[in-house]
Amino acid sequence: MIDGVWNASELKAYPNTGRFLSGRTRHEMTDAQKRVLEDAIEETATFKSSRRILERGEVYDRSTILIDGFVMRSMDGPERRHGLSFHVPGDFVDLHCFALKRLDHNIDTVGPVTLGYAPHRRLQRIMAEHPDVARILWFATLIDAAIHREWVMKLEQLTVPRRIAHIFAENWYRLRLVGLGDDDGYDTPLTQGNLAEMVGATTIHVNRALKQLREQGIARFSRGRIDISDARRLAEYGTFQPDYLYGSDAYLSNDSDDEAADD
């Protein structure tokens, strides 16, 4: 496991929010702040299979943090669903619906997930009584915006195979920030269809693109697992540079040299 990024003891002390901002500014948070946040979670829920948990246009009185599993932000087009971003454990997936009321997109689970719910009245109290924590929450929503911007750019810039490589690299990096993922890839319930929704292509074209990535030795996607043999090559092919993720550590950079840390 990589030092300086993920601290496993956090999950024991804060079972619902222990991964929040892990690998970013979590180490700057005080225990009191972490406690305030953990106490904002009123209850948790687990879903076994893929489903829509939040719907565009609806108003909710609580926000959702992803504790375990994967979710995808999406919007429905006239013919298919479009993916906006993937989320990994520790992400507050709809914190913005606290300030924004009406949700402007859907949240769909991908595979089994565990969620935590923070009622807006508790967030309201945090805003009033803990401006330092409020700023942290704001920061978290701004990272989301930064991820959106990066993806806008990549959609404008990259072909479909390269977009897929970028997704693989970004997800891998984000998983490792929160203590998940291996040194040579990661497990994920993503289907080729999910990838297609995310990169803005058809499933058929994604399938061909994956074949190409496989043949070129850049990444190997098989149901439930993504294997990456050459991290640097993947990052280069997908032009992935993780600065926009605001990780606190350069450890997870493209440099495969940096992967040398054993255990």
For position 78 contacting a second copy by CB under 8 A, the verdict is: yes
Q: Which parts of 154-183 interact with a second copy (CB under 8 A)?
A: 155-157
Tell me how far apart the terminal alpha carbons of the chain are, to the nearest angstrom. 5
Q: Which of 38, 60, 127, 205 binds a second copy (CB under 8 A)?
A: 127
For position 160 contacting DNA by CB under 7 A, the verdict is: yes
The stretch among 92-100, 116-124, 166-174, 201-209 that binds DNA (CB under 7 A) is: 201-209
The stretch among 26-34, 73-81, 113-121, 209-217 that binds a second copy (CB under 8 A) is: 73-81
Of a second copy, DNA, none, which one sits near residue 139, judging by CB under 5 to 8 A according to partner kind? a second copy
Assign 148 to helix, strand or coil. helix
For position 242 contacting a second copy by CB under 8 A, the verdict is: no
Whether the Cβ atoms of residue 249 and residue 4 lie closer than 8 Å to each other: yes
Q: Which of 73, 122, 174, 176 binds a second copy (CB under 8 A)?
A: 73
For position 138 contacting a second copy by CB under 8 A, the verdict is: yes
For position 61 contacting a second copy by CB under 8 A, the verdict is: no
Provide the angle, in degrees to the nearest 10, between the axes of the packed helices 160-177 and 192-199.
110
The residue among 131 and 224 lying less far from DNA, judged by its C-beta, is 224
The secondary structure of residue 186, as a DSSP letter, is E
Q: Which of 1, 46, 77, 261 binds a second copy (CB under 8 A)?
A: 77
Neighbour count for residue 31 (Cβ, 10 Å): 9
Q: Report in angstroms the alpha-carbon separations of 175 from 7, 126, 158.
A: 13, 28, 23
Give kind and range of the element (H or E) at residue 225: strand 225-227
The residue among 17 and 106 lying less far from a second copy, judged by its C-beta, is 106
- Residue-wise burial string across 136-161, b where 16 or more C-beta atoms lie within 10 A, e elsewhere: bbeebbebbeebeebbeebeeebebb
Binding mask 214-243 for DNA (x = CB under 7 A): ---------xx-------------------
β-pair type (62-76, 52-54): unpaired
Q: Which residues bind DNA (CB under 7 A)?
A: 79, 159-161, 191-193, 200-205, 207-211, 223-224
